[in-house]
Structure 1
Amino acid sequence: MDSSVFPRGYASHSWTFSTSQLAAELCLSESYFSRVFRDTAGQSPASYMERARMDLACRLLVQSPASITDIAHDLGYKTSQHFATVFKEVYRSDT
């Protein structure tokens, strides 16, 4: 039985990409892309993506019957322990 919280064909690896990959997709240098992104969004591309992953994780934890481990793996985290550590780091800054 497939334990993924995403529909078949949805690639969890789409949540794990680098700033250099994003820049290359837009035909920009990594440094220029990072600078423009930070100027526009107020944070680095990596920070933005991490927060987006955690926001999705929160929705899935509430709405999905999947386990924390399954959600963590589907969002590209290798272990649920790493997911929990990042979760605390992201939401600790909200308080």
Structure 2
Amino acid sequence: MGKESSLYLMSVTIQDILQWIERNIAEPLPLGVLAQKSGYSAWHFQRGFKKIAGMSPGMYIRYRKMVIARELLTETNRSITEIALHLGYQQQSTFCRAFREHYQRTPRQYRLQVQTGSVKAIRE
């Protein structure tokens, strides 16, 4: 198999994995499980994932959780605890720390700023 067809197969596989991650975002998604689903070794999967998605699987999962959290904070009245649990965080404090690291504000601060119009909803 040529290099181009191998890259194409990896690309299709990664696209399937990205969709699977979206459907299972609240579940623990260790690298071994993702690699097993892909049919590649963990090393090859991680390398291919980064090449196709532009970031490691772990970084991608954290990024997607933050985007979904931001959307839920903006578009719903769900509590911060509900959002944290919905995204698979076992503790609200862990979720709040991750959100603050990503957006430089807590989920509560973000929601209040959007509601008061002091900041527009972030779009990524």
Q: Once superposed, what is the RMSD of the aligned Cα atoms?
A: 1.8
Contact 1:23 1:33 (C-alpha < 8 Å) held by counterparts: yes
Equivalent runs, 1:82-93 vs 2, <5 Å: 82-92=94-104
Equivalent runs, 1:24-39 vs 2, <5 Å: 24-39=36-51
Contiguous gaps of at least 5 residues in structure 2: 1-22, 105-124
Whose helix fraction is larger, Structure 1's or Structure 2's? 2
In structure 1, the residue corresponding to 2:59 is in which secondary structure? helix
In structure 1, the residue corresponding to 2:73 is in which secondary structure? helix
TM-score (normalised: structure 1): 0.77
Over the matched positions of the two proteins, sequence identity in percent amounts to 33
Shift of 1:40: 1.7
Contiguous gaps of at least 5 residues in structure 1: 1-10
Which gives a bigger RCO, structure 1 or 2 (Cα 8 Å, sep 6+)?
1
TM-score (normalised: structure 2): 0.60
Contact 1:37 1:44 (C-alpha < 8 Å) held by counterparts: yes
Shift of 1:15: 3.9
Larger radius of gyration between Structure 1 and Structure 2:
2
1:20–1:37: structure 2 CA closer, same or farther, 3 Å change rule?
Answer: same
1:45–1:56: structure 2 CA closer, same or farther, 3 Å change rule?
Answer: same
Residue identity in the other structure for 2:67: D
